[in-house]
A and B are shown apart, each in its own frame.
Chain A
């Protein structure tokens, strides 16, 4: 492999830290170029060269790629899964080639995720590491994802109640730095322990029964705060416990359509693509756990979540839990989202005050 190889990949929430770590291990001779933070410029670049009706994450990814290529990236990374996302790679590669960029596109989507094919593609891209080393790197990355997801889960549920503003986010930043720099499973373990200690020391002022809101929906829009105007943060700032089961860890290890269908208790008979079923089963769990409300996010035109929406309406009615549906594209005005969120929280609060407490049924 030429020494000048510069590898980059798109942004998604905090996972850039883990990805940078993994690629650094797998391609020790290459330079890893983590994506620039997403800005309006990224979004504008991405939408300019994307088909207008493609889902928003495609545009974000493409913007990230263009910015990375402008910075000198020579290898771009993409994956793909069970909806249109599975075909992002092919289209993005073509669009970027048509724009005249020269690069290698490493796309581990669909059947290319089979270990044998994936290994061959890595080798072609210049990875000379023995398989054992690759597996070690993977193990460290997987463990990093676990640590990161666990902390973020805790952070979402508690950040609204921190006594010293910014305490939780400082720990988060520190964790991201530790994970990016981690060289082995042991390092990841150390980072996890440090993070755990710091989190335990955060002073919280939590009311006896705060509002609890579950967040479900399409994965990119959920996980990339820029694409949803930092919705989880806004909810937390208003003093709500924000729960979200969807994460990379969930996608990798906890996801099972059949189980989700069973847990969906008849609201859906069939899978509806990607994570539509998970949105239903998770919403149902929140409903039965006595949550005050559910926020359903998707990018505009996301077919699996669109398929899940009528089932969510039924669920909303039968389980008597308010569901707020929000669709995001690359539009830039935040006001509309704020209005709807504010109204949603007002509604939940007024209901609570009026004594319409949602009772937990599952925890009998």
Chain B
């Protein structure tokens, strides 16, 4: 008798996450690695790792994808559910914390807040144009300080008086930081100041006008940073819960969303052996010059997207 499982993949701008869940929703396998600008390659590596963790008796009955490359990878895997990050995060988190009221999420390129009422998303907001208050900001500043992102949290906790760093905008924060580095602030204080800046930027932009109810759950890559967790707790005056699988919630949600979808045949991990290729071209159909992406599996066209009309979306449009 084969054991049925669900596969969820969350392909973010910075990291790619994959999980396999049992039919009951328990975590069977998980993997977390850097996307490194190659969502297809990263997905393949995630699938390899998941396959190793699973037994031969496991059969994947449904696949869900989420994250900014959800469509690309969804097409690649023939996913049953391709869902946006907000829905996926809400569903994933609710499966672990049924009574959660507020989900704070800070990822690599974006950040969001999701408010839950009676187990249903009641309101959400997502950062709009600015990347301040996201993981990308933290990691670029870590590089400036010669640190790895992973070490930032611990370092921040050692600070006695965090440096004041303008949180309004990445550019301001950066020049503030440079200024403080050069005037002799210690690394601990600077890192703690950065963590605070991320939190106040988040609460001032994404969380603006939102009523943050408890319990509060914090997730996304940045939730691994102890310094940011403490800064949130200090700012909100509430305890903030971080799940040990906080970074996987999107993938878990995607897997759960695929549950109940009818799939013709079980998912085959052989997909990692196939070659996938994307080709970008400008459609010359009109003066709009849409950038069309065509997606090929072993040379055969799977799908195209990016056009504002049907013109140029077929393979023939390529010539």
Contact = CB atoms under 8 A, between A and B. Distances in A.
Given A39-B286, A41-B287, A317-B211, A354 B84 contact: no
B124 A350 contact: no
Nearest to B290: A40
A322 B120 contact: no
Interface stretch (A9-17, A125-133, A246-254, A341-349): A341-349
Given A322-B122, A347-B121, A354-B119, A313 B209 contact: yes
Contacts of A39: 286-289
B238 interface: no
A350 B287 contact: no
B118 interface: yes
Interface of B: 68, 83-87, 117-126, 128-129, 208-209, 211, 286-290, 308
Nearest to B257: A346
A343 B289 contact: no
B120 A350 contact: yes
Contact of B289 (A41, A300, A350): A41
A356 B87 contact: no
A344 B85 CA distance: 11
A351 B120 contact: yes
A346 B208 CA distance: 22
Nearest to B82: A342
A343 B86 contact: yes
Nearest to B87: A346
B115 to A, nearest CB: 10
Contacts of A300: 129
A339 interface: yes
Contacts of B289: 39-41
A307 B36 CA distance: 41
Nearest to A326: B128
6 closest Cβ contacts across the A-B interface? A343-B86, A39-B288, A313-B209, A347-B121, A346-B87, A342-B84
Given A343-B85, A350-B87, 5 more contacts: A317-B211, A339-B126, A346-B83, A346-B86, A347-B122
Interface string A97-138: 000000000000000000000000000000000000000000
Nearest to A342: B84
Given A322-B123, A350-B120, A354-B118, A339 B86 contact: yes
Nearest to A43: B288
A362 B84 CA distance: 34
Interface string A320-352: 001001010100000100111011101100110
A82 interface: no
26 contacts: A37-B286, A39-B286, A39-B288, A40-B290, A230-B308, A310-B209, A313-B208, A313-B209, A316-B209, A322-B122, A325-B125, A327-B129, A329-B129, A335-B68, A338-B84, A339-B84, A339-B85, A340-B84, A342-B84, A343-B84, A347-B86, A347-B87, A351-B122, A354-B119, A354-B120, A356-B118
A315 to B, nearest CB: 11
Contacts of B87: 342-343, 346-347, 350
Interface of A is mostly: helix
A226 to B, nearest CB: 9
Contacts of B286: 37, 39
Contacts, number: 71
Contact of A343 (B117, B118, B124, B209): B124
Interface of A: 36-37, 39-41, 230, 300, 310, 313, 316-317, 322, 325, 327, 329, 335, 338-340, 342-344, 346-347, 350-351, 354, 356
Nearest to A36: B287
Nearest to A356: B120
B124 A347 contact: yes
A350 B91 CA distance: 11
A40 B129 contact: no
Contacts of A340: 84, 86, 126
Nearest to B282: A40
Contacts of A322: 122-123
B288 A40 contact: yes
A322 B118 CA distance: 15
Contacts of A310: 209
A325 B84 CA distance: 17
Contacts of B123: 316, 322, 347
Nearest to A300: B129
Nearest to A320: B122
A344 B121 CA distance: 9
Contacts of B287: 36, 39-41
Contacts of A343: 84-87, 124, 126
B121 A351 contact: yes
Contact of A327 (B117, B125, B128, B290): B128
A171 B121 CA distance: 38
B109 to A, nearest CB: 10
A230 B119 CA distance: 32
A354 B118 CA distance: 9
Contacts of A327: 128-129
B116 to A, nearest CB: 10
B70 to A, nearest CB: 9
B177 to A, nearest CB: 25
A36 B209 CA distance: 41
Contacts of B290: 40
A326 B287 CA distance: 27
A313 B117 CA distance: 17
B287 to A, nearest CB: 5
A325 B205 CA distance: 13
A204 B274 CA distance: 44
B84 A346 contact: yes
Task: Tell which of B122, B126, B209, B290 has the most Cβ of chain A within 10 Å.
Answer: B209
Contacts of B288: 39-41
Given A39-B287, A39-B288, A350 B209 contact: no
